[in-house]
């Protein structure tokens, strides 16, 4: 297919064909990271700026590495090390970055909609690296990539998303991507964190965790997003672990071929037992590896077909 988008803002707005095209492109980029010289010239002469206004390990490092593997110039700005601490607005910060001819701005921000805000005001391509509790498109894409790589398909699979759904941008992007590609998505967690409104997105909500674990082909665990919760949504961490944690005992109920996924950072001993996080069915670190290929694909596709200047 011909890629026409300049920005990656949400999974909601992508068609199933666009999602599949990104995953297919990522599959070809995965091989680059196995070469002795892990570099291709696709973005030579381009500048990719990572503007991270919230903490990140995986997403920030993998976007930066993806840009470097594509031969782009990269720079990384974090909230603490920027003039935002002196009162500069996001728009002014981004416009100053653009004044230095940045071609891409990869934005993580606590405000839902902030990537679209920049996309409507800047000439650079904007990539959403997580906006509040709204969306985290490249996380969903790397999750889809990993499931397809391991299980060969998405359509018809039973995917259980377990944990804090309400505050999770990963959950929202995964729900959009998985349902568009024909998976059966079930949500489970404390009722305060899994409101019925999510049914409107075409998912099932259950309080019967044991049945959901038995039926799942994929279990995607989410941590409690304490940083977004302004009140207590369950009595305490001990009770959460007892009711919803994927313990060694609960893991024994799952299918032998189940995939255990987690976007990270994991809280060992809370939403997942340490042994389960490190067991052979866990693909948590493979998700991280695949994130690099997916982010290379995203930057490559957004860059589009550029006219090559002829030297005189
Ligand atoms: N999955 C994820 O977004 O992790 P980071 O917050 O470390 O980027």
Per-residue pLDDT at 183: 98
3-state SS class at 177: helix
Ligand 1 contacts CB of residue 58 (under 6 A):
yes
| Phi, then psi, of 120 in degrees rounded to 5 | -80, -10
3-state SS class at 146: helix
Q: Which residues of the chain have pLDDT under 50?
A: 307-312
Other CB atoms within 10 A of residue 192 CB: 13
Which ligand 1 atom minimizes the distance to the CA of 130?
Answer: 3
| Phi, then psi, of 45 in degrees rounded to 5 | 90, -5
Distance CA 266, CA 268 (A): 6
DSSP 211: H
Per-residue pLDDT at 281: 98
Per-residue pLDDT at 236: 82
Residue nearest atom 5 of ligand 1, based on CA coordinates: 56
Per-residue pLDDT at 234: 75
Per-residue pLDDT at 229: 67
Ligand 1 centroid–CA 226 distance in Å is: 15
Ligand 1 contacts CB of residue 287 (under 6 A):
no
Distance CA 141, CA 279 (A): 23
Which pTM does this prediction carry? Answer: 0.94
Ligand 1 centroid–CA 312 distance in Å is: 46
Distance CA 46, CA 33 (A): 20
Please report which helix (H) or strand (E) contains residue 126, including its range. Answer: strand 125-131
């Amino acid at each position: 297919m011909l890629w026409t988008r300049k920005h990656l803002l949400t999974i909601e707005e992508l068609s199933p064909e666009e999602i599949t095209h990104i995953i297919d492109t990522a599959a070809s980029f995965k091989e680059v990271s196995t070469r002795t010289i892990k570099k291709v010239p696709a973005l030579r002469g381009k500048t990719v700026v990572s503007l991270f206004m919230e903490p990140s390990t995986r997403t920030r490092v993998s976007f930066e590495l993806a840009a470097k593997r594509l031969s782009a110039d990269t720079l990384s700005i974090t909230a603490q090390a920027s003039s935002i601490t002196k009162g500069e607005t996001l728009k002014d910060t981004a416009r100053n970055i653009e004044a230095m001819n940045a071609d891409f701005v990869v934005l993580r921000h606590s405000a839902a909609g902030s990537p679209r805000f920049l996309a409507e005001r800047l000439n650079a391509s904007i990539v959403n690296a997580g906006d509040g509790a709204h969306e985290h498109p490249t996380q969903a894409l790397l999750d889809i990539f990993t499931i397809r790589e391991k299980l060969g398909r998405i359509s018809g699979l039973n995917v259980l998303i377990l944990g804090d759904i309400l505050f999770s941008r990963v959950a929202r992007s995964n729900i959009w991507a998985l349902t568009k590609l024909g998976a059966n998505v079930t949500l489970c967690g404390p009722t305060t964190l899994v409101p019925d409104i999510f049914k409107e997105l075409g998912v099932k909500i259950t309080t019967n965790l044991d049945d959901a674990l038995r039926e799942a082909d994929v279990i995607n665990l989410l941590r409690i997003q304490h940083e977004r919760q302004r009140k207590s949504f369950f009595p305490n961490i001990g009770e959460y672990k007892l009711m919803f944690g994927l313990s060694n005992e609960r893991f024994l109920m799952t299918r032998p071929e189940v995939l255990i996924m987690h976007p990270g950072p994991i809280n060992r001993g809370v939403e997942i037992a340490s042994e389960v996080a490190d067991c052979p069915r866990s693909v948590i670190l493979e998700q991280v590896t695949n994130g690099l290929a997916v982010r290379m694909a995203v930057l490559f596709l957004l860059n589009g077909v550029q006219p090559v200047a002829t030297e005189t």
